[in-house]
Each structure stands twice: as C-alpha cells, then as structure tokens.
C-alpha cells in the first residue's frame, strides 16, 4: 500500500473517531436553555435534563461558573444513557423556608451510571430555617440533596453548604461513591446531618470533610456494606450507626467499616446508638479502625439508652442486638474524663465485641481518662488506655451530653 494512501487513510480514521467521540458525548449547557446569573434556573435545568435523559450515549449537563438561584428541582430517570451533572457554579436555595414545598431542594431519582461533579457549591441558606425550627414554627425542612434509587454512581468534588436540614439523604442506592465531598455548616446548626444513609448497599464515602451541627454521617436501617475512609469530621456529632429501634420492622444494619478517619472537637467519635424500649433490630459486622480523636467528648460510644429528648422509658431495655464489632487502634485526646462508653442493653447484651490498642488521654482536673461498661464482656487485645471495662476504681461519670438534642443526634 502506498505510504501517502496509508497516511490519508489514517487521517480519515482519526477524524471519524473524533467525530464519533463528539457525537457520543453530548453537552447540555443550561445557559442555552434560558438560565441567567442570579435568576432561578429551575426550568432551564429541567429542560436540559429532559433532553439529556433521552440520549443513548453519555451526556453532560453543565451549570457553568457563576452564582445562580434555584428553587426545588427533581431529576428523575430512568434515562437512556449515563448522565453527568456538572455543577461548576454556586447554587442558592430560597432563604425563606416557606418558599419551598414539601420535599427536598435537589432530588435525583432512579438513575444508573450517574455522576455529579464540577467543584461547585449548593448553598441551602439555612440560617432563617434554623431559627424557624428553634422557635418551633417550622416542622419539616428540606434537605439540600436527596439521592434515591441510584446505581453505579459517583458524587465528587461537590460542596453542600448551610442546608436547612440534612445535607444529603441516601435511600435505596447501590454502588454509590462520595469522593472529595465537603459538608459545611455551623456547629450549632440543628439537625444538619452530613450524609444520612439507609436502605442502601455498597456505599463508599472517602477523602471527604464534614463540619456541621449534627452527625457527620449517620446510618439508618437496612444499610449493608458501607465503607467510610479518610474522612475528617468536626465540628459535629461524630459518625453514628443509628439511631435504631425507633420504628417497627427495621431491617438489619450489616457490614459498616469506619477506617482512617479523624475527629476534631466533636461531641462523639465513633458511635452506635439505639433507643430504649425499642422495637427489635440487628446491628452486626461493624468495624471502627485506625481512628484519631482530638478533643472529642465521647470518643468511643455504644449507647443503647439513647434518648436526646429525655422523654423515654429507660426502664425498658433496647431490643436491638449488637454483635461482631471491632474497635481497633483509636488514639488521641478526650474532652471529657469518660473516654470509652460501652453501654449495652440488658435485654439484648452486646456480643462479639473486640477492643484493641486504645490510647486516649484526658488532662482535666478530675484525673486520667476512664471507661464505663454495661451488659458487655469485650474481648480485649493490645494496649488499653484507659483500661476498658475494668472493675477497679470508682464508677466512671456518665457520658457527656451532645450540645443540642435533635431528632437525629
């Protein structure tokens, strides 16, 4: 074959592949659908999504850099191909909670192969809503983000700011990853959980930061195979499995690992919480490993008499069974003398709990760090400082209360 012909043939093939790639990766910029800076982009986003959702090849919806107002939006599949929502902008929710109808601010439903990216910020402008909640004039407030029935999806390089309620709610998702995800809200903002996960499997949260007024990450029922790694939490109420047992027919929580995480000035570190006088439930295969705590009130906490409102029948035990838990290599400083609390249920004592290599110090005037245990006989390994579940010495003080009780604390 002639060399010149070969070159021309090669050039034609490359051009064809480039054109094919362009045709297979469609971009939908919301400014081409009428979106304007500092104006409500809800309709433009819905229009772009409607068109992108019909594409059989991968498509990207772009919200370009700038500041945009956005009312409530629900993007619901299924779509014909993978879809990416690239948020480069700062999106602002209405500050008045009365402007938002029932539901969440941005809801994404029933998508496979979904990506949210772009380095942008979703600003819930929650201050007025928090004041409304504290005065008991508001009841149900919207979350910033709600992900329902997503599969094989990733949320990366996104910040959620000052949500009116939870920053993110994850429900009925499978194979969902949060990467370089940031949550920001004041430490006294009520009920602003970072990510709440329930009825989902194979969720991964990694290399992310949480500063908020409630749990950095909370785990609801029917959660399986959840991985939380390389997360920094603080301020906030820690990373919590629960609260559980408050509702009938809750499904088991199985397979949660929290590893290589750091807690800074939080009300709790790693925690499992269940209600007294509860409905039956199961929590098993939970692993807290390689954790750093800095000035944390309750660094290690199993709480089966969880009752933030104080209106509970603590005489009746929790019926949630906790088993197969490892608490390994947790180091740092406690803000309170009682650094380790393993308060299990007398109705369903904890089983198969292994505690190893704990090194948590307390420098207060009361003396060195202590522990408190009820209805548990843990398997102890390695170094224990403080001595875990030791009968020697005076009884340890009760765990420190959270700064503000809430429905999810």
DSSP strands (E only) in 275-389 = 281-296, 298-303, 320-334, 338-343, 351-361, 370-374, 379-385
Buried b (16+ CB within 10 A) or exposed e, 30-45: bbebebeeeebbbebb
* Closest listed residue to residue 190, CA positions, set 212, 168, 209, 216: 212
List, edge to edge, every strand of the sheet that includes 239-244.
73-76, 106-109, 145-148, 168-171, 195-198, 217-219, 239-244, 268-274, 298-303, 338-343, 370-374
Buried b (16+ CB within 10 A) or exposed e, 343-382: bbbebbbbeebebbbbebebeeeeeebbbbbbbbebebee
* Closest listed residue to residue 108, CA positions, set 140, 47, 153: 153
**What's the farthest any 2 CA atoms get from each other in the chain?**
94
- Rounded CA separation 201/209 (Å): 22
Residues involved in catalysis: 214, 237
- Rounded CA separation 263/294 (Å): 6
Cis peptide before 78 (omega within 30 of 0): yes
Tell me if 221 sits within 8 A of 251, measured CB to CB: yes
Tell me if 364 sits within 8 A of 337, measured CB to CB: yes
325 has which bridge partners? 286, 353
């Amino acid at each position: 074959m002639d060399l010149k012909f070969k070159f021309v043939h090669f050039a034609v093939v490359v051009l064809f592949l480039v054109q094919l790639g362009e045709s297979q990766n469609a971009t939908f910029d919301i400014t081409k659908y009428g979106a304007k800076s500092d104006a409500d982009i809800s309709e433009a986003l819905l229009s772009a999504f409607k068109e992108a959702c019909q594409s059989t090849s991968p498509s990207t919806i772009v919200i370009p850099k700038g500041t945009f107002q956005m009312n409530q939006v629900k993007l619901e599949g299924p779509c014909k191909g993978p879809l990416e929502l690239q948020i480069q902008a700062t999106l602002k929710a209405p500050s008045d909670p009365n402007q938002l109808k029932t539901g969440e601010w941005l809801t994404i439903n029933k998508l496979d192969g979904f990506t949210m990216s772009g380095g942008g910020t979703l600003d819930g402008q929650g201050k007025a809503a928090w004041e409304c909640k504290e005065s008991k004039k508001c009841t149900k407030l919207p979350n910033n983000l709600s992900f329902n029935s997503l599969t094989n999806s990733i949320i990366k390089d996104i910040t959620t700011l000052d949500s009116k309620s939870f920053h993110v709610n994850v429900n009925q998702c499978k194979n969902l990853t949060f990467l370089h995800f940031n949550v920001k809200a004041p430490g006294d903002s009520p009920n602003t959980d970072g990510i709440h996960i329930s009825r989902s499997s194979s969720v991964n949260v990694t290399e992310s930061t949480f500063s908020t007024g409630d749990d950095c990450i909370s785990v609801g029922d029917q959660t399986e195979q959840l991985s939380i790694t390389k997360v920094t939490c603080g301020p906030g109420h820690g990373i919590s499995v629960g609260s559980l047992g408050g509702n009938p027919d809750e499904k088991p929580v199985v397979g949660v690992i929290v590893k290589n995480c750091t807690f800074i000035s939080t009300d709790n570190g790693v925690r499992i919480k269940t209600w007294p006088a509860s409905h039956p439930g199961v929590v098993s295969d939970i692993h807290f490993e390689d954790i750093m705590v800095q000035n944390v009130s309750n660094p290690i906490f199993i709480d089966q008499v969880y009752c933030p409102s104080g209106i509970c029948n603590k005489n009746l035990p929790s019926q949630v069974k906790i088993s197969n838990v490892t608490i390994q290599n947790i180091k740092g400083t406690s803000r309170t003398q009682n650094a380790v609390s393993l308060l299990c249920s007398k109705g369903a004592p904890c089983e198969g709990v292994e505690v190893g290599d704990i090194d948590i110090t307390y420098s207060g005037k009361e003396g060195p760090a202590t522990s408190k245990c009820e209805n548990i006989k843990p398997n102890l390994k390695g170094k224990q400082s403080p001595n875990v579940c030791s009968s020697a010495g005076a009884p340890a003080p009760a765990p420190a209360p959270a700064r503000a009780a809430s429905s999810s604390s």
